[in-house]
Structure 1
Amino acid sequence: MRSSLSLAANRLAGNVALGTEIDPEFKYGAGSPLTSASTATIYLSKATRKVLESNKMLYGYASGSTDQSEFAVSSNRAADDTLTESERQRLKPRFSGITVLQFADDATAMRVAKEMSDADFAVAANENQTLALPGFPAANSHRRPGIPTLGSTLAHGRYVMYIHVGLREENGAQLITLAEKTYKTQISLLDRLPSLSPADFLRLPPDPDGMLRRGLNPKQLASIDEREYFTLDKNGYYQANRKQQKNDDLYSEVGADRFTRSWGTELVRTRDEDSAKVLLNRAIELLVPSSEVAAGPSQLPDAKCAKNTDPRLNDRFQDTGERKRFLCAVQYRRYVAVVEADQLQDAHQRAAAQYALFANSQIQ
């Protein structure tokens, strides 16, 4: 069941608003899949956990965006995170946080939206004040006078949205404007993504478009992993790796629409073969900006290889998502893959294995 929840959360990731869709300056942030109440309350008020558990939250996705690169909006709880509050006072960021959760039916979602808001309000009941969003009268919203933030919860079908927005200085009208824009943007995305029934969970494809099975998997592990084994559409990939959004002009140029990671192998699908050739020449640079050209494998003359020269690298590695010392990019038809290894010879061997996997799969 947990694997199905992870697949559902990854499906949702592409339909959660990126910060730049709300405000062009919200360029920094992070997103994360949610598969339990305990993970959801990393991003929500801790007081909401019992509400989520008693109403059997299914899955969700949390995304935070800000105009300040130092602000840890990914752990931006509304009312009960003193560290986040001190950072907010120091950095004075503008931000928008969105958490989307799915429940079994519309009635449950409606109840949860109210109960979540009540639990969050009660954390500082003597200070919080309710307020109305004119454009979203069904939303349950409140703020604390003197603090330039606003929290709001709204049901939309089986989905429940919690948003938390903030400004540099207190301005009630501007807070309402930002909250309403956040809701408007998010609802338009949810309207494109039907919620899931219990039967739908069982039918979710583990590998949309066959990307994972065509990527070299050095560890031969096949369970979905948030950091190391996943396949996402472009917006979902940006949620998971916000730094890559700065390369959107190139990804849009080549028509990149599916991004996959398979225990160290990166795989991208582009519009066509010519587009893949364009991406091939930039792929390593996008993943590891600090690099220098290294010799390619003799059997793959078009492959591109590089040595990672990031000074933070050292000679001892664990398979925990850290980059290896050598990377090689290979292209086959409309696909580009980047493999990595600690030794150049191993990187060459993995590049050859990846190319053979491509060819044997006969990707169109």
Structure 2
Amino acid sequence: MSVACGNDGKATDHDSTLDVGTYSTQPLDSSYDDRPSYGRGVLVESLRLGARAAFGSEIAPEFSAGHGGIVLATEDGIRNADGIMAPAMAPFHPMGAFITDAAETPYVGEHDKHYELSIGLVSFPDEQSATDAAVALAQNDLGMNGKNELVGLPDYPAALSHWRPGVPNLGSWMAWKSVVIAVFVQSRQANLDQLTAFVSKAYQQQLAKLDGYVPVARDQLPMLKLDQDKLLTRLVKTNDARPDQRDFAVYSPRGFAGLGTDPVAAAREYGDAGVKAIAVSDNKYLYDLRDTAAARDFTTRLAKDPTISKFVPMAGVPGAADISCFKATQPNPTVAAARRFRCVIPHEEVVAEVFSTEESDVRQLAAAQYTVLKGAG
């Protein structure tokens, strides 16, 4: 259900009757959120946008397979992506950026003709900056090829769009309040009516998701908190506590669902289960549920989770009957790191999930995680 990696940086201090190996059972402090940080603020603003990102399968069945959601904004600036060219936006001081990708299949060959859709969201200090940035992005892309032609969208006259006749893709940019929406769509055929219909539907869905979004003032960006409820302090420390979208962050259920191959289904499942937030720390996840009953039900759901890597039960942690452990019967091609073993650890209104490439290690990690949760109350 998520991406995990690594378990280096283990500490050795612990006080537990369980076998925790060299893992620390000392709770992590919240210093990562205690001081103003521009870099942390950019990440948080990007994750706020991700919580409102539209998914490809909400646009059309041709984009049924999610290819993940990515934070494009870093402390050093914005990374390039489809429809988003960082140098063109730099003069307008972007404060956060998130992009989702989808296609007709989970895996697409580099040279295959296929359906593909990306929707990017970039926040700016004010509405004028967003308007100017949308113009700059559109003009930058338009000027890359002299054969590009402008395209109008009747339902969205403010959108700046163009395509190259005979080439089956179209790019479009539109400012909405202080956010720029960038849409790039590719089809199997150079059908302008189809391409514009896809883009119009993407705007319709994305604008609906942005309804209620409250932009942050630029001078308040360093004050944004990554972890309002201190969920990350309840996970075993296995690496530096430095805010990072993959290794140390707190996601909304929708934002976290966007990382997977079927985000609509995942978002629905999280909503039905009562998941309020998901903390990510290296190879560990903490799901915050609405109450203890929901946490118990979600524990059962995780145990039966039909992921691409099929997991079957294995022996758990001696002395901790609450912990359930599993081993994968096949590798998961959607994650960069192998995750052969996993354990699920419920405690009151939260459920932790830990992964490892080694069976003995995952049990020790689970034991340490169990101890940390018990100590946190």
Q: Which interval holds the TM-score relative to the shorter structure?
A: 0.7 to 0.9
Which of 52, 58, 82 is 1:43 aligned to? 82
Distance 1:66 1:225 in 2: 26
Match of 2:52 in 1: 15
Match of 2:370 in 1: 355
Structure 1's 51 and 249: CA in aligned 2 closer, same or farther, altered over 3 A?
Answer: closer
**Is residue 293 from structure 1 mapped to residue 331 from structure 2 by the alignment?**
no
Which of 249, 272, 291 is 1:272 aligned to? 291
Distance 1:70 1:326 in 2: 24
Match of 1:152 in 2: 172
Match of 2:151 in 1: 131
* TM-aligned CA deviation for residue 237 of structure 1: 0.4
What is the letter of the counterpart of residue 298 of structure 2? Answer: L
* TM-aligned CA deviation for residue 285 of structure 1: 5.2
Match of 1:317 in 2: none
Which of 128, 132, 138 is 1:111 aligned to? 132
Match of 1:78 in 2: none
Superposed counterparts of 1:174-185, under 5 Å: 174-185=194-205
**Is residue 339 from structure 1 mapped to residue 376 from structure 2 by the alignment?**
no
Moved more, 10-19 or 205-214: 205-214
Checking the alignment, whether the CA contact within 8 Å between 1:264 and 1:321 is kept in structure 2 is: no
* TM-aligned CA deviation for residue 195 of structure 1: 1.4
Checking the alignment, whether the CA contact within 8 Å between 1:284 and 1:338 is kept in structure 2 is: no
Distance 1:251 1:281 in 2: 13
**Is residue 33 from structure 1 mapped to residue 33 from structure 2 by the alignment?**
no
**Is residue 55 from structure 1 mapped to residue 92 from structure 2 by the alignment?**
yes
SS in 1 for 2:327: strand
Distance 1:295 1:278 in 2: 21
Match of 1:75 in 2: none
How many residues were matched structurally? 336
* TM-aligned CA deviation for residue 113 of structure 1: 1.0
Match of 1:232 in 2: 251
Deviations 1:99-157 (A, max 9, x none): 111122211211111111111011112x1111211111111111111122221111111
Checking the alignment, whether the CA contact within 8 Å between 1:20 and 1:26 is kept in structure 2 is: yes
What is the letter of the counterpart of residue 211 of structure 1? Answer: L
What is the letter of the counterpart of residue 293 of structure 2? Answer: D
* Greater RCO, 1 or 2 (C-alpha within 8 Å, sep 6+): 2
* TM-aligned CA deviation for residue 61 of structure 1: 0.7
Deviations 1:249-272 (A, max 9, x none): 543432223122212112112333
Deviations 1:202-227 (A, max 9, x none): 221121332211122222x2111222
* TM-aligned CA deviation for residue 51 of structure 1: 1.6
Distance 1:43 1:92 in 2: 15
Distance 2:327 2:376 in 1: 29
What is the letter of the counterpart of residue 128 of structure 2? Answer: A
* TM-aligned CA deviation for residue 353 of structure 1: 2.5
Checking the alignment, whether the CA contact within 8 Å between 2:125 and 2:178 is kept in structure 1 is: yes
Structure 1's 290 and 156: CA in aligned 2 closer, same or farther, altered over 3 A?
Answer: same
Match of 1:79 in 2: none
Structure 1 unpaired stretches of 5+: 73-82, 314-319
Distance 1:25 1:312 in 2: 24
Checking the alignment, whether the CA contact within 8 Å between 1:281 and 1:304 is kept in structure 2 is: no
Checking the alignment, whether the CA contact within 8 Å between 1:207 and 1:213 is kept in structure 2 is: no
**Is residue 92 from structure 1 mapped to residue 111 from structure 2 by the alignment?**
no
Deviations 1:33-88 (A, max 9, x none): 0115864313336xx4332122222221111112232237xxxxxxxxxx5xxx3x
Checking the alignment, whether the CA contact within 8 Å between 1:153 and 1:162 is kept in structure 2 is: yes
Distance 2:230 2:152 in 1: 46
Structure 2 unpaired stretches of 5+: 1-37
Normalised to the residue count of structure 1, the TM-score between the two structures is: 0.83
Match of 2:275 in 1: 256
What is the letter of the counterpart of residue 31 of structure 1? Answer: G
SS in 1 for 2:63: coil
* TM-aligned CA deviation for residue 295 of structure 1: 1.3
Match of 2:31 in 1: none
Distance 1:137 1:116 in 2: 17
Distance 2:162 2:105 in 1: 24
Checking the alignment, whether the CA contact within 8 Å between 2:313 and 2:326 is kept in structure 1 is: yes
Which of 163, 168, 173 is 1:143 aligned to? 163
RMSD: 2.6
Distance 1:108 1:266 in 2: 37
Match of 1:242 in 2: 261
What is the letter of the counterpart of residue 244 of structure 2? Answer: D
Checking the alignment, whether the CA contact within 8 Å between 1:18 and 1:235 is kept in structure 2 is: no
Checking the alignment, whether the CA contact within 8 Å between 1:64 and 1:96 is kept in structure 2 is: yes
Distance 2:44 2:267 in 1: 24
Identity across matched positions, percent? 24
Normalised to the residue count of structure 2, the TM-score between the two structures is: 0.80
Distance 1:229 1:292 in 2: 28
